[in-house]
Chains A and B, each alone.
Chain A
Amino acid sequence: MLAERGLIFPPINEILRWQDIFPTFNKIALIAVLASLIGIGLFLLAARADAKKAPTGARNLVETTVEFIEEGIVMQTLGKSGLGWTPFLLSLFIFIFLCNIPGVIPFFQMPATARIAIPLSLALLVWVVFIGTGIKHQGMGYFGSLLWPAGVPTGLKPLVGAIEFISTIFVTPFSLTVRLMANMLAGHSLLVTFGLLTQALVMAETKQAALIPIAILPFFMLIFLTAFEILVAFLQAYIFTILAAVYINNSTIGHGDEH
């Protein structure tokens, strides 16, 4: 039974499915609730600080974040007239980031967005918001401009309409969901893989003299990947938010060429 003692990768459910802490409430739900509460608490704390003095502590952090969303996301995609979208995009960014980052926090060790429920609900929320914005800004003509970009020849209209309909209505929320979920799932399983490798080499039962020093290699990889996962947690929150902004922008000004 050599395989029993060697490296065994656990079934996918073992690294993703968590026992209920109490009925209908598991670790994923706990992380999501904590993410909302921490986000709300941080901003309430910052709002209580005196706005006339130089910002310190929580307010400093919050002001940097708001400025990052305004300068880095809203101004780049929606322009000055879209500054009203900042609160929505800011909440999206904070919530996704706080759901992603537990993937590298000890004792949590699980990004809540690695399960499809949270990315899917957020993507559907963005979907409803950008279609609603389109109807608000362009009336029912929105669906026309959604199906046919300006200047499509009449003969091509059925084909272009079908492609545009599928790509806007189905592919957009699907790719938003899968991009976030698969990124976090991939990062989580990479961390699990290198953690298991290190453990299997350290706990080796034969040839310890050779195998235990080798364990330092996957261990360094584990440290490097942990740092990388912090970057990915930030980057995925940023990309989700900026794509939401791009989709909203497309429905306010008519159809763009991005998907």
Chain B
Amino acid sequence: MEAFSALVAAEEAAGSFNPDAKNIAAATNAGLAYGLAAIGPGIGIGYVVGKSIEAMARQPEAAGMVRTTMFLGIAFTEALALIGFVVFVLVKFA
């Protein structure tokens, strides 16, 4: 991305440009970015599903309603992890 391009331009100007340097930086930071982005939503989805199973076990007749709400909760929580994945693609390939 822009910061990388600036870095590469600076390295090129200094005459010590290593073509792999950009790829290494991109791969490392992309992996780190996605790994960090997955922690929160992982815990969150576990919590949502765990509580929903608890509710369904306590009150099986409400299972349909709980399941719909659970999917909504998962969708909102999961969005963060998916934005992290988009950031991964942008950092790694753009």
- Which chain B residue lies CB-closest to A189? B89
From A19-27, A142-150, A236-244, give the one contacting chain B.
A236-244
> Quick check: A12 and B71 within 8 Å, CB to CB?
no
Minimum CB–CB distance for A148 against chain B, Å:
22
Q: Residues 172-191 of chain A: 1 if any B CB is under 8 Å from the residue's CB, otherwise 0?
A: 00010011011101100000
- Inside 8 A of A183's CB, which chain B residues have their CB? 82
> Quick check: B89 and A242 within 8 Å, CB to CB?
no
- Which chain A residue lies CB-closest to B89? A12
> Quick check: B82 and A178 within 8 Å, CB to CB?
yes
> Quick check: A179 and B78 within 8 Å, CB to CB?
yes
> Which of A11, A239, A246 meets B93, CB within 8 Å?
A11
Q: Residues 57-94 of chain B: 1 if any A CB is under 8 Å from the residue's CB, otherwise 0?
A: 00000001100100110111011001101100100110
Cα A242 to Cα B64 with chains together (Å): 14
- Chain B interface size, as a band, is 10 to 19
> Which of A11, A182, A239 meets B75, CB within 8 Å?
A239
Most buried by A among B75, B76, B79, B89: B75
Q: Residues 4-43 of chain B: 1 if any A CB is under 8 Å from the residue's CB, otherwise 0?
A: 0000000000000000000000000000000000000000
> Quick check: A258 and B72 within 8 Å, CB to CB?
yes
- Which chain A residue lies CB-closest to B80? A175
> Quick check: B72 and A246 within 8 Å, CB to CB?
yes
Residue A259 lies at the interface, judged by CB distance under 8 Å to chain B: yes
Known: A11-B93, A76-B64, A185-B89. A178 touches B83 (CB 8 A): yes
Known: A76-B64, A185-B89. A242 touches B71 (CB 8 A): yes
Residue A36 lies at the interface, judged by CB distance under 8 Å to chain B: no
Known: A11-B93, A179-B75, A239-B75. A77 touches B68 (CB 8 A): yes
Which A residues are closer than 8 A to B by beta carbons?
Answer: 11-12, 72, 76-77, 175, 178-179, 181-183, 185-186, 235, 238-239, 242-243, 246, 258-259
Can you report 28 residue pairs joining A to B where beta carbons are below 8 Å apart?
A: A12-B89, A12-B93, A76-B64, A76-B65, A76-B68, A77-B68, A178-B79, A178-B83, A181-B86, A182-B82, A182-B83, A183-B82, A185-B85, A185-B86, A185-B89, A186-B82, A235-B71, A238-B71, A239-B72, A239-B74, A239-B75, A242-B68, A242-B71, A242-B72, A242-B75, A243-B72, A243-B75, A259-B76
